[in-house]
Structure 1
Amino acid sequence: MKYRDMNYRYIYLIFSKTGTWLSRALSVFAESKYVHTSIGFDDSFNKMYSFGRTNPDNPFSGGLVEESLYGGVYKKFTNSECVIYKVRVTEEQYNNLQEEIQYFLNEKDKYRYNFIGLFGVLFNAPLKRKNHYFCSQFVSEVLIKSSIYEADKIPELISPDDLLLIEDKELVYEGFINDYYRFGNIYSFV
């Protein structure tokens, strides 16, 4: 998409590996460095959206979450690693994405984590379950519906590694999350 004579904004894609038992298991089976993905609208990273643990202390409480790099699972697992990218989008795409996420937030309590769907990704066999999502399924779906991302797979088969292939993204930071918030975003390219 050409951006000449258009207003544009940035969205942020955050990929992480926290050290939870699920994160460790997924990184072994998927052979990926980053097994979790979130999406955000600003570079404070105080409010990011994904599917994950609704309670940092309970690995079985999963659903739609508003995450922060400074709390929750990231604070509990201090050796969490991440890579953050910003993606330039049009004003219309940005607004569409906000609407898509707000749609989920309006009925947050009905959504659950799609644990079974993770096996579908591993075996290339989509397992769609009503109101159930895993992180990259959710992020890819809202990006596709907002005309930001075109995929050759359905969201039920999209992994964080697939989302890492999004073109025209700019690296903001890669490293340990606690270094990012301890030293501020001194490593940032923003």
Structure 2
Amino acid sequence: MNKPSHSIYLICSKTGTWLSTLIGLCSHLQYAHASISFDESFERLYSFGRTEPDNPFCGGFVIENLYEGVYTKSQDCRCLIYRIPVTALQYEALSNRIERFILEKDTYSYNMLGLFGILFNTPIKRKSHYFCSQFVAEILIESGIFSSSKVTQLITTDDLLTLDTKEFVFEGPINRSNITQAQKGIQAS
């Protein structure tokens, strides 16, 4: 069996946007948004969300930066970061899948209807449409990193946090000082 030789990062956040707040109120999720990163700089997070930080109605595949965009819109912005050890094969599979999303990003849209599906426990599958936790779950499942008895259209950030191999890195307000401390902890381990 292959031993973990790489790490990826699961970032769950509460951005303070109206959609994040609404999702939290309706679902009782502490963290409404999920992203994946390949390194501890957290300057390239992959997810589905606002394609234009100031326009909540434009959504799709996004490459986020923990220090920019929606993460700077609210002083109450918080995150939870986990490191996930993965094998070289899992890392390569995940990297290849992300690369395909990057190359085809204009073909994807945000799955707003899918959020209602979660509320009513009814999966709403739409071609080329994702919401953040659906996207993260799908690419982790396809890469052999995560498994769930749920279909991806019903997976929430809380479901992603059931991943057994995760290692706690940080929880708290998003600011450069806090994240720098978290990075020092990662580098020391």
TM-score scaled by structure 2?
0.94
The within-5 A match list for 1:81-96 is: 81-96=78-93
- 1:118 equivalent among 115, 118, 137: 115
Aligned length in residues: 185
Q: Which residue of 2 aligns with 1:48?
A: 45
- Report the aligned-residue RMSD: 1.2
Q: Which residue of 1 aligns with 2:24?
A: 27
Moved segments of 4+, more than 3 Å: none
- 1:151 equivalent among 148, 152, 175: 148
Tell me the alpha carbon deviations over residues 53-94 of structure 1, each in whole angstroms, 9 at most, x when there is no partner: 001100001000000101011022232000000000000000
The separation in 2 between residues aligned to 1:183 and 1:34, in whole angstroms, is 18
Q: Which amino acid aligns with 1:110?
A: T
The separation in 2 between residues aligned to 1:129 and 1:184, in whole angstroms, is 35
Indicate the SS of the match to 1:37: strand
Q: Which amino acid aligns with 1:25?
A: L
Cα gap change, 1:19 to 1:183, in 2 (>3 Å): closer
Q: Which amino acid aligns with 1:142?
A: I
Q: Which residue of 2 aligns with 1:60?
A: 57
- Structure 1 residue 184 displacement after superposition: 4.6
Tell me the alpha carbon deviations over residues 81-131 of structure 1, each in whole angstroms, 9 at most, x when there is no partner: 000000000000000000011111111001000000001111110000011
Indicate the SS of the match to 2:9: strand
Cα gap change, 1:183 to 1:13, in 2 (>3 Å): closer
Identity of aligned residues (%): 51
Gaps of 5+ in 2: none
Q: Which residue of 2 aligns with 1:166?
A: 163
Indicate the SS of the match to 1:77: coil
Gaps of 5+ in 1: none
